[in-house]
Structure 1
């Protein structure tokens, strides 16, 4: 998106007056719609629409061997695909750097045992574990991808069904697992403290959350704050600008407050949502 100087000035003046171009205040989010269990061949899935940002997440599971340095833990891996149809900027390899940045930030945020206990994915210490493949597809880009992806990932993991292992047969180095194919005999993941990300952008002298595409182009600098439970687990700076230490502190405080509020709203929605049902929140 290319903005002329007049358009940038309009965005800047609106932020300074706490009245953004779409009528929101500085700490407001755009309307969201969340739908779970949308991919039939996946173990869990979710689709999130944040205004005109559209994200689809599917979770697949396979048996694997734990890492030697963490024999009691399972595995989780994130892959992000920025569709060329999402925005012209993603044509060719235009979205590759952004996809890597989102994937790495998710990996870091979920690496803490406080955020996600991967020990529950371990079946046999040092020998067998579940590996989760979290595939993320950016269908449309209307700004604020980090936040949208983090919410969609958390919802997809909430929707994920882990197959129940009925029997384990060990014959020397051969391990045979009897995995139930009954969906009623499945386990759910504990995602209570799974991280929620909030992007805080500095525009002029003010900090805002949930920037749209126009606001992202006017940002002097931004930081992504990942909050797990009641603690900040990951901080990632985006863009090319820098933030003054005082501004960074203000951004972290704003991101933390908004993440707590966002996570509470998401938890309420997930507690009452049924499979294949769509729900709107933060409207």
Structure 2
């Protein structure tokens, strides 16, 4: 998408008057649609559409060996694939840099034990643990990709279930695990503290959340904050440009306020969602 100077000026004036092109105020989100449990052979899955941004997430489980420095913890890994059909910018190797950036930010956001307790994934101290592989596919990119990905990941993890271990047989270095194959012998993951990301863009002298693709082109600087309950789990500057220290503080305050509200609405939606039901909400 390429905007002329008149279009950029129109967007800038709208943000200044707190009335954006699509009718939202500076703190408003576009409609969100959510589907869960849609990938048949995954342990959990979700598809989330934020306006024109479409993200599919599938969760896989493997039995692995814990890291030597963290023998009591399991593993959580993120893999991002940017479909070439999502945007012309992803053609060739164009999406690899963004995919790596998304995976790194998610890893940083989930690193704190206050956001996601990896100790619950430990099976046998220092020898066996669950490894959660979160596969993320960007189907369409219509602005505010970081927020959409974080919400889709949280929904997919909420939809995931960990099989129970019936018994453990140890014979020297050989460890045999008896994993239940019943769908009723599973434990759901706790994602109450899992972070949601809020992208804050500065346009003119004002900061907005949930920027559209056109608004992203008008931004002079952007920051992504990951909010876990009321706390920051990571803060990252993205794109080109920089923010004045005072603007950065205002961006963090706005991101925290909106993130708390967004997480509350999203968790209520996850708890109320019924199987095979699509859910949409505005804020």
Q: TM-score range by the shorter chain?
A: over 0.9
Q: How does 1:47-196 map to 2 (within 5 A)?
A: 47-196=47-196
Deviation string 1:182-213 (CA, Å, 9 cap, x unpaired) is 01100111110000000000000000000000
Matched, 1:239 2:235: no
CA distance in 2 between partners of 1:16 and 1:229 (Å) = 30
The alpha-carbon deviation at position 4 of structure 1 amounts to: 1.1
| CA–CA distance in structure 1, aligned partners of residues 269 and 44 of structure 2 | 17
C-alpha distance in 2 between matches for 1:23 and 1:98: 29
Displacement of 1:91 after TM fit? 0.6
Distance 2:6 2:151 in 1: 34
- Residue 275 of structure 1: how far off its partner (Å): 2.5
Q: Which residue of 2 aligns with 1:23?
A: 23
C-alpha distance in structure 2 between counterparts of 1:70 and 1:121, whole Å: 12
CA distance in 1, matches of 2:282, 2:118: 30
* Cα distance per residue 1:128-161 (max 9 Å; x no partner): 0000000000000000000000000000000001
TM-score, normalised to structure 1's length?
A: 0.99
Q: Separation in 1 of the partners of 2:44 and 2:83?
A: 21
* Alignment-derived partner of residue 282 in structure 1: 282
Given that residues 58 and 156 in structure 1 are in contact (C-alpha distance below 8 angstroms), is that contact kept between their aligned partners in structure 2?
yes
Unmatched 5+ stretches in structure 1: none
Q: Distance in 2 between matches of 1:95 and 1:19?
A: 32
C-alpha offsets along residues 59-117 of structure 1, whole Å, 9 cap, x if unaligned? 00000000000000000000111101011111111111111111100000101000000
Give RMSD over aligned pairs: 0.7
Q: Distance in 2 between matches of 1:116 and 1:209?
A: 25
Return the TM-score normalized by structure 2: 0.99
Is the aligned partner of 1:217 residue 2:240? no
How many residue pairs align between the two structures? 283
Alignment correspondent of 1:44: 44
Mapped to 2, the partners of 1:170 and 1:276 lie a distance apart of 41
Q: Secondary structure at the match of 2:207?
A: strand
CA displacement at 1:276 relative to structure 2: 2.5
State the secondary structure of the residue aligned to 1:259.
Answer: helix
Aligned to 2:248: 248
Correspondence for 1:261:
261
Aligned-pair CA distance for 1:2? 1.2
